[in-house]
Structure 1
Amino acid sequence: MKSIVIQQPGKLVIEQRALPVPAAGEVRVRVSYAGICGSDVHIYHGHNPFAKYPRVIGHEFFGHIDSVGEGVEASRIGERVVVDPVVSCGHCYPCSIGRPNVCTELQVIGVHRDGGFSDYACVPAVNAYVVPPTISDELASMVEPFTIAANITAFLKPQPQDTALIYGAGPMGLTVIQVLKGVYGVQKVIVADRIDERLAMAKQSGADWTINNQHQSVADILAVDDIRPTIVVDAACHPAILQEAILLASPAARIGMMGFSGEASSVTQQSITSKEISLFSSRLNSHRFPQVIEWMKQGKIAPEKLATHWMPATEVEAAMHLFEKDPRACCKVLLKFPLDG
């Protein structure tokens, strides 16, 4: 088989590898589609502190189970599955309270261990979720990005009467918009971004109002109608956003942080406690795959609105360049496998 391997930062190769054999409790997935994420690009550039090299990247992938390890029912062979990249120990404190995404021994498929940008990938059987026939092969790998939105919104507990402000209309922001509108029925969703084309995508995903904050202050625009968001989500992941979000938010608002920047954010305790604002951070997902699969099955979310490009996996470098450098036209790039023929 062939695999896409980051041998070291800046060096990507398509490498011939031996066909993996599933260990006890594992299944082998013959990969059909895999999505490119910002974290894949970060590993390529050497900007992910958790990745070790060489690494087969890819944590958003779909395929068919073609082999099972000891302890896994042979009846699973042939299942259409998407893979939860969160691999946890099951016994530490976070795992014991249903938060395996921050397990003390966390491994993320495609980051800490080899991922799905490969003709075949072995994964824990419990991480392979069956995809119903109503979800197409071409869109099934989009389940994983929506689990990120499912995780942060589970903390925020949106209500229809909320006014939500989302910073960033990239893939994370767009999935949050769809979940707020399609699942929770939030009546007013405002989105701020600096790219008009991304704001147009936000509108297509259900945003009620968009703001280009390249030349306009979000604070000034909201002040005109005295709008105080009750939910704010930072999906742009810039350290300066947190303090602005705190200042703009309504008393008793909830703020969700999705960024992973190592830079300091300047905030004051008074600005938080004076309004009793609740701050939530969210990493990956905690068993959200069944929930998102059901949402997709019921048509509550529309992944096709985010998938802008399908490319052969052999063109992965061009695909990653497109994803990184052309945010005006590109949102999600889905790679078509196999690499080997």
Structure 2
Amino acid sequence: MKSIVIQQPNELVIEEREIPAPGAGEVRVRITLAGICGSDSHIYRGHNPFAKYPRVIGHEFFGVIDAVGDGVTDKSLGQRVCVDPVISCGRCYPCSVGKPNVCTSLVVLGVHRDGGFSEYAVVPAGNAWVVPASIPDEHAVMVEPFTIAANVTGQVNPREDDIALIYGAGPMGLTTLQALKGVYRVKQVIVVDRIDERLALAERNGADWVINNGEQPLAGLLEARGIKPTLIVDAACHPAILSEAIAIASPAGRIVLMGFSTEPSSLVQQGITGKELSIYSSRLNARKFPVVIDWMEKKLIHPQRLITHHFEYQQVREAIEVFEKDQKRCCKVLLTFTEK
């Protein structure tokens, strides 16, 4: 089989490997489609401190089960599945309180263990979620990105009367936007970015007001309209955002951080306690695949609005280049491995 391997930072090869056999409790998936994420780029460029090389990258992937290991009784050959990349122990404190995504022995496919940028992948059977026939392949491969939004919204419990503000109109900001509008019916969602083309995409995905904060100060615009956001989502993760979010948030507001910066943020505690703000963080997903599959079955979200580029897996270098450099036109990039 062919696998996309990062041998070391900035060294990508398409390598011939043996087709793996599933062990006990595992299934083998013949990959149909995979999506490129920022973390794939970070591993490729050597910016992910958790990655070990060489590594088959890819944690957003979908395919068909073509082999089943010993002891697997709930999966069968031919089932269409999307794969949760989060592998957890089920016994530690985080797992016991419903946060397997921060398991003390966390393993993430495509980071700590070989992932889905390959013609075949072996995964734990419990991580392979059966996709209903009503969900097309291109939507199925988008389940994982939407689980990030499901993890965020599951923590902050959005209300219809929230005034929500999202920093960042990239894939994670837009999946969260779709969840807020389509699932939770939030009446007012504001999206902030510095790229007009991304803001236009946010409008097409349901944003009620878009703001280019590179052209005009955000705080002044909100103050002029008397707006104090009750829910703020940081999907851009610049170190300056958190202090601004604290300043503009409504009393009793919620702020959620979707990613991280390695640079420190400067905060004044009084800004948090004076308004009794709640600050959340979110990493990966905590068993949210069934939630997103249900959203897709009910057509509450629209994955096709985010897919901008398709490439054959042999074009992976070009695909990553587009993902990294074409921020005006590129949102979600899909790689095709096998046809149905």
Structure 2 length as normaliser, TM-score? 0.98
3-state SS of paired residue (1:320):
helix
CA–CA distance in structure 1, aligned partners of residues 310 and 53 of structure 2: 27
Q: Which residue of 1 aligns with 2:159?
A: 159
| 1:307 corresponds to 2:307 | yes
CA contact (8 A) 1:68 1:74 kept: no
Deviations along 1:174-200, one digit per CA (max 9) or x if unpaired, are 000000000001000000000111001
Structure 2 residue runs of 5 or longer lacking an equivalent are none
Q: Which residue of 1 aligns with 2:286?
A: 286
CA contact (8 A) 2:138 2:304 kept: no
CA contact (8 A) 2:62 2:82 kept: yes
Q: Which residue of 1 aligns with 2:216?
A: 216
Q: Which residue of 2 aligns with 1:193?
A: 193
Q: Which residue of 2 aligns with 1:225?
A: 225
Deviation at 1:138, TM superposition (A): 2.2
Deviations along 1:219-257, one digit per CA (max 9) or x if unpaired, are 011011110000000000111100000000000000000
| 1:108 corresponds to 2:111 | no
CA–CA distance in structure 2, aligned partners of residues 75 and 215 of structure 1: 53
CA–CA distance in structure 1, aligned partners of residues 313 and 155 of structure 2: 36
3-state SS of paired residue (1:76):
coil
Deviation at 1:259, TM superposition (A): 1.7
CA contact (8 A) 2:29 2:122 kept: yes
Deviations along 1:144-184, one digit per CA (max 9) or x if unpaired, are 00000000111111000000010000000000000000000
Deviations along 1:197-228, one digit per CA (max 9) or x if unpaired, are 10011011110000001111110110111100
CA contact (8 A) 2:191 2:207 kept: yes
CA contact (8 A) 2:75 2:125 kept: no
CA RMSD of aligned residues (A): 1.0
Listed as ranges, the matches of 1:2-151 within 5 Å are: 2-73=2-73, 76-151=76-151
Structure 1 length as normaliser, TM-score? 0.98
Deviations along 1:122-147, one digit per CA (max 9) or x if unpaired, are 00000000011111112211000000
Equivalent residue letter for 2:84: D
Q: Which residue of 1 aligns with 2:170?
A: 170
- 78-87 or 214-223: bigger deviation: 214-223
Q: Which residue of 2 aligns with 1:252?
A: 252
Equivalent residue letter for 1:99: K
Q: Which residue of 2 aligns with 1:334?
A: 334
Q: Which residue of 2 aligns with 1:274?
A: 274
CA contact (8 A) 1:229 1:250 kept: yes
3-state SS of paired residue (1:203):
helix
Q: Which residue of 1 aligns with 2:205?
A: 205
3-state SS of paired residue (2:310):
strand
CA contact (8 A) 2:229 2:249 kept: yes
Structure 1 residue runs of 5 or longer lacking an equivalent are none
CA–CA distance in structure 1, aligned partners of residues 338 and 49 of structure 2: 29
CA contact (8 A) 1:4 1:14 kept: yes
Equivalent residue letter for 2:232: V
Deviations along 1:46-72, one digit per CA (max 9) or x if unpaired, are 000100000000000000000011101
CA contact (8 A) 1:228 1:249 kept: yes
CA–CA distance in structure 1, aligned partners of residues 109 and 24 of structure 2: 17
Q: 1:99 to 1:212 in 2, by over 3 A?
A: same
Equivalent residue letter for 2:44: Y
Deviation at 1:75, TM superposition (A): 5.5
Q: 1:74 to 1:185 in 2, by over 3 A?
A: closer
CA–CA distance in structure 2, aligned partners of residues 74 and 262 of structure 1: 42
CA–CA distance in structure 2, aligned partners of residues 73 and 178 of structure 1: 35
CA contact (8 A) 1:65 1:81 kept: yes
Alignment: residue pair count: 339
Equivalent residue letter for 2:156: L
